[in-house]
Amino acid sequence: MEISGYVQALVQATAGRLASKKPVTDELSNHFAQMMDTQNQQQLIVQAGDTVSQLALQHHTSIAAIVQSNHLQDPNLILVGQKLTIASSSQGGIPEVAASSNDAQMVSEDGVQQQAVQFVKQFLGNAYVWGSAKPGAFDCSGLVSYAYKQFGVELPHLAQAQADQTQHIATKNAKAGDLLFWQNQRGHVYHVAISLGDGHYVNALDPAHGVQIDGMAAPANFAGRVVR
């Protein structure tokens, strides 16, 4: 807070008190609070791996405050490069409306999954090249590992290994960002895709089709939830 601004407020309030013979305590308190609220606000740019719950804890504010300040429709969905206004509390410690550790972990996972889904859609139409995991050409597990890597989650570049690293769930319970796996008769996973949560998924299918959105014409054998 600038001293000149505070002094100016004090002079104005004192002059008003002399004219009206009223105390200036409340006027100064309100003015001071308004100035502090403005100064505590800061702009930041969302980085890979950021979530609303993590930002709330880092800046001593609440999830609800960030949602309200930025008019977020979904607190689990913030995008890399997005600008957010954060109003930090002037007091230290954990904010009053903070998520529990379990809730924060769940929000973090959901946030990463949602971001991965939005991110991977930009590669629709890219070619399929076996063994590739870079923009322009992917194989099925390469697409998954590249998308999640952008948000701080390391997944191996192999469908079976990705299946081994996820929490297995029924295909019908798959949410957006969960992984879908197909097995051969021996139980070996040979294909992986990213669920969109509506019965469709994004995958690098084969050289004839490349990266595209498909439905459940050939249902996945099981789904896997990415955990950190």
Q: Where in the chain is the domain with CATH 3.90.1720.10?
A: 106-225
CATH of 46-99, one of 3.40.50.920, 3.30.9.10, 3.10.350.10, 3.40.50.1240: 3.10.350.10
Query: How would CATH label the architecture of 106-225?
Result: Alpha-Beta Complex (3.90)
Where residue 8 falls among pLDDT bands split at 50, 70, 90?
low
Q: Which residues pair with 127 in a beta bridge?
A: 137
pLDDT in the model for residue 159:
95
Q: Quick one: average pLDDT of 100-109?
A: 39
22 vs 142, more confident:
142
* Total-model pTM: 0.54
Contact yes or no for 223/179 (Cβ under 8 A) = yes
Q: What percent of the chain has pLDDT over 70?
A: 69
Count CB-CB contacts under 10 A for residue 6: 14
Q: Where in the chain is the domain with CATH 3.10.350.10?
A: 46-99
Q: Show the 3-state SS of the chain.
A: CCHHHHHHHHHHHHHHHHHHCCCCHHHHHHHHHHHHHHHHEEEEECCCCCCHHHHHHHCCCCHHHHHHHHCCCCCCCCCCCCEEEEECCCCCCCCCCCCCHHHHHHHHHHHHHHHHHHHHHHHCCCEECCCCEECCEECHHHHHHHHHHCCCCCCCCCHHHHHHHCEEECHHHCCCCCEEEEECCCCCEEEEEEECCCCCEEEECCCCCCEEEECCCCCCCEEEECCC
Token couple for 87 = 């109003």
Lowest mean pLDDT among 8-17, 108-117, 160-169, 189-198: 8-17
